[in-house]
A and B are shown apart, each in its own frame.
Chain A
Amino acid sequence: MSHDGEHVRPTDRQAPADADPAAPGIRSRRTWRRALRRPPAVAGAVVVILFAVMALAAPWLATSDPVQTSWGQIRKTPTLAHPFGTDDLGRDVYSRVVWGARTSMQAGVLSILLAICVGVPTGLVAGYYRRAVDQVIMRLTDAWLSFPFLILAIGLVTILGPSLMNATVAIGMAATPTYIRLTRGLVLATAQEDYVQSARALGGGDIRMMLRHILPNIFSALLVQATVSIPAAIIAEAILSFLGLGVQPPTPSWGTMLNTAQQFLETAPWMAWWPGLAIFFLALSFNLAGDGLRDFLDPKDY
């Protein structure tokens, strides 16, 4: 299809950069300066790291057990003991938001990892061998892409049954065709480059060509795509959980928390504030970092 063109761009930056062994210290310092020229992107990256720390250190950051119910503490307004208030079962909202970071990060990162593991090799094969293989893979990808992301994820969860693992798999599978297309387009462009052609002339085998010469050169574009699709996957997980098709109670997840919160908007609006703000900031930070990374890795920007 005609849209492939927009993903294709030269990624031959790596070759000259690697060919310059001189003064690694100066080069890395220049790289840092270039990175720090983009405050929003740096801020985004920092917040993403903070959320990752929150996910990893949840047991120590949470002030109380996220699933411990307390009948005397139902829907209490925020206080010092419960800075984000308590929910309909008397659980501490702050602790649940902290633990929810783990659920969201896990679902977001693992699902995109799955999409990359399936999509990139498939796209490599399609773009490298072309002809019939390419046609078959791309027609299937087109068909797969015709299912709206969320509808496909909902359909897959119906087949697999609702759980965090299955939601992650479903989101990953729904995101796969994007990676097949992107990889294929990049491979088509990269395979024409002189250094790939000359490596082939030197007698490099197919596997070696793909892994050593093509993959490293399309890596940065894939990385940028990953920073854009992880926030989308995080939101997708929240949506599936919100609909009751993802994480099952009592496991804390921002989506399920918002589902419950919607029933108590009049009496306990704080229940709806924090999980939503958390999703928003995490997604925003990923997008900021991704935008910055795109500019940073753009060879035209040197």
Chain B
Amino acid sequence: MFDFLVRRIAISIVTFLLITLIVFMGVRMIPGDPARVMAGTDADEAGLQEIRVKYGLTDPIPLQYARWLGLALQGDLGESIRTRESVVKIVAVKLPITVQLACFSLLIAVGIAIPAGVFSAVRRNTAWDLLANAISLCGVSVPSFWLGIMLILFLSVRFHLLPASGFVPFLQDPLANLQRMLMPSFVLGAALAAVLMRQTRNSMIEVMSANYIRTAYSKGLAEWVVIFRHALRNGLIPIVTILGLQMGALMGGAVVTEQIFVVPGFGRLIVEAVFTRDYPLVQGVVLITASTYVLINLLVDVSYSLLNPRIRVKGSSGES
């Protein structure tokens, strides 16, 4: 158990260090002189040299990396070229908005996918199952930004049911906040729901054929008791893993969703940063996203090594 935890955490730390290396090298690969980017086009050679010395750009690359990493670990990701604000501070302002969006999407996705997947698995090969599968396949194939545009077209432009875009902080006006978050959350959640539903169905079909389920049935337990008390508990394990791995898609999806619905979160921030060539900001945002992903998946794995002894044993002796 302890071995597994140490191993899993060690792997995450190695992954994190490699991420920082990739992000650092990535920004170094941008063509052009970073000093020129920071100073703007009208700086003279003396000014450029001053910036190079100030930011340590004349030092050897490994030293630059070590210094950058040291600062990053202390929560200093540099400052935005455009606004001169600290990157961490900018992100801290935007992040709660995206977290709210992500949480709502998760709720919607899980709320649709788990019941639909369980139902499909239990009523396998019926018309309902077929319909649920067809919807899920469409959900995987539909580009989320087009779904968003269509929702705006029908719900906002045609029938004026919901505001098309914008954001109101929850504490300022909870109702307006929810109204504006509904469509983006649905769009972001729909893609996730499609993937989750398929997994839930597969996982439940597998669990339902296990011996202990037959035993439970033959004890004379009601069907819903067997499904929810016995099957779902084990069936959910792989689904939580998938959910952790899907967090990346959720973060990527947030970029597009926020762009369509003009939600001023993390995703819009990165697109703006790319357009204004604000490299420190792009670097910071990408680093934070990737690290969050590693952390979430570490927590998922650890949390159920605590819950499920089988994974613990398999994980500690397993390869890779």
**Is A33 close to B, CB under 8 A?**
no
Among B141, B153, B293, max chain A CB count under 10 A is at: B141
Instruction: Tell me whether A143 and B137 are in contact (CB under 8 A).
Output: no
Whether B294 is near chain A, meaning CB under 8 Å from some CB there, is: yes
A188 surroundings in chain B (CB, below 8 A):
319
Q: Is the CB of A235 within 8 A of B153?
A: no
Q: Say whether A138 faces chain B, with CB atoms less than 8 Å apart.
A: yes
**Closest A residue to B270 using CB positions:** A154
Interface membership of chain A positions 141-159, coded 1 if the CB is closer than 8 angstroms to chain B and 0 otherwise: 0111011111110111111
A243 at the interface (CB under 8 A from B): yes
CB within 8 Å of A: which of B76-114? none
A155 and B155 alpha carbons, distance in the complex (Å): 33
Given known contacts A2-B315, A151-B270, A272-B149, is B19 in contact with A284 (CB within 8 Å)? no
> For the side of the interface on B, what is the size category?
35 or more
Q: How many angstroms between the C-alpha atoms of A286 and B29 in the bound complex? A: 35
In the bound complex, residues from chain A placing their C-beta under 8 Å from that of B253 are: 150
The yes or no answer to A55 lying at the interface (CB within 8 A) is no
- Establish whether residues B149 and A147, one from each chain, have CB atoms under 8 Å apart when the complex forms: no
Q: How far is the CB of B78 from chain A (nearest CB, A)?
A: 16
Query: A85 on the interface (CB 8 Å rule)?
Result: no
Return chain B residues, CB-CB under 8 Å to A139.
11, 14-15, 18
Q: Specify which of A143, A149, A239, A284 is in contact with B248 (CB 8 Å cutoff).
A: A149
Chain A residues with CB under 8 Å of B143's CB are 235, 238-239, 276, 279-280, 283
User: How close is B279's CB to chain A, nearest CB, in angstroms?
Assistant: 8
B146 within 8 A of partner (CB): yes
Q: Are B256 and A280 in contact, CB atoms less than 8 angstroms apart?
A: no
Among A57-65, A67-75, A192-200, A262-270, the one that faces the other chain is A262-270
Q: How far is the CA of A143 from the CA of B304 in the complex (A)?
A: 22
From A155, A238, A242, contact of B282 by CB (8 A):
A155
Q: Which residue of A lies closest to B277 (CB)?
A: A158
How many whole Å from B273's CB to the nearest CB in chain A? 8
Q: Does B241 contact A (CB under 8 A)?
A: yes
**Residues on the A chain within 8 Å of B137, using CB:** 284, 287-288, 291
Q: Chain B's nearest CB lies how many Å from the CB of A246?
A: 12
State the main secondary structure of chain B at its contact with A: helix
Q: Is B174 in the interface zone, CB < 8 Å from A?
A: no
A142 — which chain B residues lie within 8 A by C-beta? 11, 15, 18
Question: Once the chains are docked, how many angstroms separate the CA of A150 from the CA of B271?
Answer: 11
A3 at the interface (CB under 8 A from B): yes
Q: How far is the CB of A217 from chain B (nearest CB, A)?
A: 20
Bitwise interface map of B from 286 to 320 toward A, beta carbon under 8 Å scored 1, else 0: 10011101100000010000000001001100111
Partner pick for A146 among B15, B141, B270, B271, CB 8 A cutoff: B15
B263 lies within 8 A of chain A by Cβ: no
Chain A nearest Cβ from B182, distance in angstroms: 18
Is B290's CB under 8 angstroms from A146's CB?
yes
Residues of B within 8 A of A243 (CB): 255-256, 259, 271
Contact of B152 with A by CB under 8 A: yes
Q: A3-B241, A287-B137 are in contact. Are A151 and B157 (CB under 8 A)?
A: no
Question: B152: which A residues are within 8 A, CB to CB?
Answer: 262, 265
Tell whether B71 is near chain A: CB-to-CB under 8 Å. Answer: no
Residues of B within 8 A of A90 (CB): none
Chain B positions within 8 Å of A4 at CB level: 319-320
CB distance from B32 to the nearest CB of A (A): 11
What distance in Å separates the Cβ of B4 from its nearest Cβ neighbour in chain A?
10
- Whether A269 pairs with B157 at a CB distance below 8 angstroms is yes
Q: Which of B26, B149, B251, B279 has the most CB of A within 10 A?
A: B149
Interfacial chain A residues near B146, Cβ < 8 Å: 258, 272, 275-276, 279-280
B256 touches A148 (CB 8 A): no
A262 touching B252, Cβ below 8 Å: no
Q: Is B73 an interface residue (CB 8 A)?
A: no
Is A132's beta carbon under 8 Å from chain B?
A: no
| Contact residue among A146, A154, A245, A258 (Cβ-Cβ distance under 8 Å from B145) | A258
Complexed CA–CA distance, A243 and B255 (Å): 9
Q: Does A46 contact B (CB under 8 A)?
A: no
Does B274 touch A at the CB level, under 8 Å?
Answer: yes
Interface hits, A249-273 → B, CB 8 Å: 258, 261-262, 265-266, 269, 272
Name the interface residues of A116-166: CB closer than 8 Å to any CB of B. Answer: 134, 138-140, 142-144, 146-152, 154-159
* Given A138-B320, A143-B22, A148-B289: A265 and B270 interface contact (C-beta under 8 Å): no
In the assembled complex, the CB of B133 is this many whole angstroms from the nearest CB of chain A, namely 10
Bound-state CA distance A275–B150 (Å) is 12
Using A148-B251, A158-B282, A279-B146 as known contacts, say yes or no to A272 and B289 having CB atoms under 8 A apart.
Answer: no
The distance from the CB of A278 to the nearest CB of chain B, in whole angstroms, is 10
B145 & A242 in contact (Cβ 8 Å cutoff): yes
Q: A148-B251, A149-B249, A242-B145 are in contact. Are A269 and B29 (CB under 8 A)?
A: no
Knowing A148-B251, A239-B145, A287-B141, the reply to whether A262 touches B11 (Cβ < 8 A) is no
Q: For A3, what are the chain B residues with a Cβ–Cβ distance below 8 Å?
A: 241, 245
Rank and list the top 7 A-B pairs by shortest CB-CB distance, nearest first. Answer: A150-B252, A143-B18, A276-B146, A148-B248, A284-B141, A283-B141, A148-B252
- Interchain Cβ contacts under 8 Å between A and B, 17 examples: A143-B22, A146-B15, A148-B290, A150-B256, A154-B255, A154-B271, A155-B286, A238-B145, A242-B145, A243-B259, A245-B271, A258-B145, A262-B152, A265-B152, A272-B150, A288-B137, A291-B137
